[in-house]
Amino acid sequence: MITLRGVRKDYGNEVSIGPVDLEIPRGGITALVGPNGAGKSTLLTMMGRLLSLDAGSIEIAGHDVTRTPSKRLATVVSILRQENHFVTRLTIRQLVALGRFPHSPGRLTPEDERDVSDAIDFVDLRELEHRYLDELSGGQRQRAYVAMVLAQDTEYVLLDEPLNNLDMRHSVQMMQHLRRAAEELGRTIVIVLHDINFAGHYADRICAVKDGQVVEFGTPDEVLTDEVLSRVFDTPVQMVDGPSGRLAVYY
Amino acid sequence: MVDVVRSGSADAGSANAARAAAAPAAARTSGPLAGRARRRYWVVLGALIALALVFGVGLLAWDNPMPIGSAGFWTIAEMRATSVTVMAVVAVCQAFATVSFQTVTSNRIITPSIMGFEALYVAVQTTSVYMLGIAGVVALQGVPQFVLQVALMVGFALLLYGWLLSGRYGNLQVMLLIGIVIGGGLGSVSAFMQRLLSPSEFDVLSARLFGNVSNADADYLPIAIPLVVVAAALLWLRSRRMDVLALGRDASTSLGLHHRGEVMRVLLLVSVLMAVSTALVGPMVFLGFLVATLAYQAADTHDHRYILPVAALLGFVVLSGAYFIMRHVFYAEGVVSIIIELIGGSVFLFVILRKGRL
């Protein structure tokens, strides 16, 4: 379980995020949605201890993220940011192998190698595993980073807009990979999403953020209504019945 | 190849299938050198060791007026051995410092001299000559003076890193920028003082301001060598951490590294190496950059355990090769840094333009 208590982050004097109180239960996919600048990524990066808190506390599976040593936390939670600085002479497999660093800081054991192979197979990059990162498309690189996070083998996985720069097909594949990671590997995934319909279809819980506050938290059926979405996004949204669940129409 | 494709498509389905497919593939490993790169690496390393030996022995024995094996031959070789040792020390310093510095700053086109080591060295030398005249050059020679200069440069770097990385700025880019500005400021103060020197004083001073192996005194080596060995060994032992640091701040934090602490530790070691190198032979602006870039081209891996030795060997080959050419081809020993910049720069441009990437 991820617990946020009175979490606040100030940007200058005018803008601040929070205070936020939130409990994200174990298991499944939780999607953070909301308009630009609402504070979704800020909340996520604070959960992943990449950003310091100005007030409050965050606990992940009983570990206070500001006080637990980074090394210990790295076996509990992993986080992937949107923009990743990539190293040119690094193959997919070598990148994913770095995901084992918290478990084996020295040489990789045969078990580590197996975990690395599993993570690569999981995102269907086996044929490309010895390609260098600078020889990949944006979508393949994105999947390679997700494989690294999966190889880290943490119960909690935080992803900041992993669908950015992905086309339809790769977005769908990515969400299917994550869905399987949640179901088959029992990971708890928290993900920032922009596409409300992706959130509706793949997430177990949706957390709507607006102006630095959590305004709605519940199952997709509870959150994805005309009234809530129109209020959160400040734009008229209509839910219609689609072939596989309800869809938001907003254009 | 066919087999790989077939098994690849077979596991496109469920995770169970993927695991089943992964089981027989026990040979899949994530070594630092993928496939063909492995053989290439050892060939490159072997060639560099051979070249280093050729130039090293060449510098000791070539043009030695005494017959080989005689007592006089060994006396001359011993005298020359000091220069070769200094070259090895400088090569290790510049190579390790530059590769590590580029990693922690996530920038492959800068060198640690950006932090003002060389500007500080120039300022110290110039001030001394400005105050004491030609005697100032002599006043800066001697073991205590050497130790003092190293300490001054390390202290200056620590102050800068410590202040800029731990404060609320906590930003590497800001630190680099301030390093450049301070370096530029020191440079102009030195340039101003140099204007006021008499021509003969300036002449003596400018000889000290070119990187030159013969600037080094054999008496400095008992202090320089242990410092360099310890700092380089510590950096090499942090190789795997540096592999992770190269992923950037966010990814390395997520993998459990205390990013700022790691960066500070690496920068401390870098500053020791740079300070020793600069105090020993003077500014070597281009050497580290050249060597680091060529090492990445030659070794073709991200793994610091493999990059660092290649870079150090390359450094020695470039330095001793340049020295050999200066001494025996142009009969103009002294300003080695000039030939490094000339030949090294051309090789560098050639490699980069041919490969099209850093």
The reported pLDDT for the residue numbered B24 is 43
B300 vs A45, A89, A97: nearest CB: A89
User: Which chain A residues have a beta carbon less than 8 Å from that of B171?
Assistant: none
Confidence class for position B12, pLDDT limits 50, 70, 90:
very low
- Among B171, B158, B168, residue whose Cα is nearest residue B115: B158
A101 vs B5, B14, B244: nearest CB: B244
B103 located within any domain: yes
- Compare B92 and A83 and report the one with higher pLDDT: B92
CB of B358 within 8 Å of a chain A CB? The answer is yes
Q: What are phi and psi of A53, to 5 degrees?
A: -90, 150
- Among A119, A186, A113, residue whose Cα is nearest residue A150: A119
Cβ within 8 Å, pair B255-A74: yes
Burial A88-109 (b: 16+ CB within 10 A, else e): ebbbbbbbbbbbbbbbeeeebe
Give the ranges where A51-109 is alpha helix by DSSP (H). Answer: 70-73, 92-98
Quick: pLDDT tens for A94-112. 999 999 999 988 788 889 9
- Compare B17 and A249 and report the one with higher pLDDT: A249
Strand pairing report for A55-60 and A156-160: unpaired
Quick: pLDDT tens for A6-19. 999 888 877 888 78
Rounded distance between C-alpha atoms, residue A37 and residue A47, angstroms: 17
CB of B170 within 8 Å of a chain A CB? The answer is no
User: Which chain B residues have a beta carbon less than 8 Å from that of A126?
Assistant: 4, 7-8, 11, 21
The reported pLDDT for the residue numbered B156 is 85
B3 located within any domain: no
Write out residues 268-297 of B within 8 Å (CB-CB) of A: 296
Distance from CA of B34 to the nearest CA of A (A): 7
Check pLDDT > 80 for residue B14. no
Cβ within 8 Å, pair A80-B257: no
User: Which chain B residues have a beta carbon less than 8 Å from that of A119?
Assistant: none
Cβ within 8 Å, pair B22-A90: no
The reported pLDDT for the residue numbered B78 is 81
Of the given ranges (A41-50, B7-16, B297-306), which has the lowest mean pLDDT? Answer: B7-16
Confidence class for position B27, pLDDT limits 50, 70, 90:
low
Rounded distance between C-alpha atoms, residue B174 and residue A143, angstroms: 32
- Three-state DSSP state, A159: strand
- Among B252, B298, B254, B251, residue whose Cα is nearest residue B99: B298
Cβ within 8 Å, pair B30-A71: no
Cβ within 8 Å, pair A71-B256: yes
Secondary element (H or E) of residue A188? strand A188-192
Quick: pLDDT tens for B80-112. 888 899 999 999 999 999 999 999 888 887 888
Q: Are B247 and A98 in contact (CB under 8 A)?
A: yes
B347: domain CATH number is: 1.10.3470.10
B27 located within any domain: no
Rounded distance between C-alpha atoms, residue A216 and residue A204, angstroms: 14
The reported pLDDT for the residue numbered B3 is 38
B35 vs A73, A80, A130: nearest CB: A130
Number of domains composing chain B: 1
The reported pLDDT for the residue numbered B34 is 63
Rounded distance between C-alpha atoms, residue B182 and residue B201, angstroms: 26
Rounded distance between C-alpha atoms, residue B335 and residue B309, angstroms: 26
B143 located within any domain: yes
Q: Are A239 and A225 in contact (CB under 8 A)?
A: yes
B36 located within any domain: no
pTM of the model: 0.86
B301 vs A75, A89, A108: nearest CB: A89
Rounded distance between C-alpha atoms, residue B109 and residue B297, angstroms: 14
The reported pLDDT for the residue numbered B2 is 37
Cβ within 8 Å, pair B255-A48: no
User: Which chain A residues have a beta carbon less than 8 Å from that of B11?
Assistant: 121, 124, 126
Cβ within 8 Å, pair B240-A79: no
Q: Average pLDDT of chain A?
A: 89
Cβ within 8 Å, pair B19-A121: yes
Distance from CA of A12 to the nearest CA of B (A): 13
Chain B interface, best mutation among A117, A140, A145, A153, by max B CB count within 10 A:
A117
Q: What average pLDDT score do residues A65-76 get? A: 91
Q: Are A30 and A46 in contact (CB under 8 A)?
A: no
Q: Are A29 and A179 in contact (CB under 8 A)?
A: yes
Distance from CA of B193 to the nearest CA of A (A): 43
B33 located within any domain: no
Secondary element (H or E) of residue A231? helix A226-233
User: Which chain B residues have a beta carbon less than 8 Å from that of A178?
Assistant: none
Burial A25-63 (b: 16+ CB within 10 A, else e): eebbbbbbbbbeebbbbbbbbbbbbbbebeebebbbeeb
Q: What is the 3-state secondary structure (H, E, C) of B96-137?
A: HHHHHHHHHCCCCCCCHHHHCHHHHHHHHHHHHHHHHCCHHH
A49 vs B11, B247, B253: nearest CB: B253
B271 located within any domain: yes
Rounded distance between C-alpha atoms, residue B148 and residue B132, angstroms: 18
Cβ within 8 Å, pair A108-B30: yes
Q: What are phi and psi of A54, to 5 degrees?
A: -90, -20
Query: Which residue range is the domain that position B191 belongs to?
Result: 46-64+83-353
Q: Are B245 and B224 in contact (CB under 8 A)?
A: no
B30 vs A49, A89, A97: nearest CB: A97
Quick: pLDDT tens for B242-275. 999 999 888 999 999 988 889 889 989 999 999 9
Cβ within 8 Å, pair B34-A91: yes
The reported pLDDT for the residue numbered A134 is 85
Check pLDDT > 80 for residue A87. no
Confidence class for position B37, pLDDT limits 50, 70, 90:
confident
- Among B209, B230, B210, B286, residue whose Cα is nearest residue B89: B230
Check pLDDT > 70 for residue A74. yes
Rounded distance between C-alpha atoms, residue B158 and residue B162, angstroms: 6
DSSP letter (8 states) at residue B14: -
DSSP letter (8 states) at residue A38: S
User: Which chain A residues have a beta carbon less than 8 Å from that of B15?
Assistant: 121-122, 180, 184-185
User: Which chain A residues have a beta carbon less than 8 Å from that of B253?
Assistant: 48-50, 70
- Among B134, B356, B152, B139, residue whose Cα is nearest residue B271: B152
Quick: pLDDT tens for B157-186. 888 777 777 666 567 778 788 888 888 899
Check pLDDT > 70 for residue B358. no
B90 located within any domain: yes
The reported pLDDT for the residue numbered B22 is 42
Rounded distance between C-alpha atoms, residue B46 and residue B26, angstroms: 30
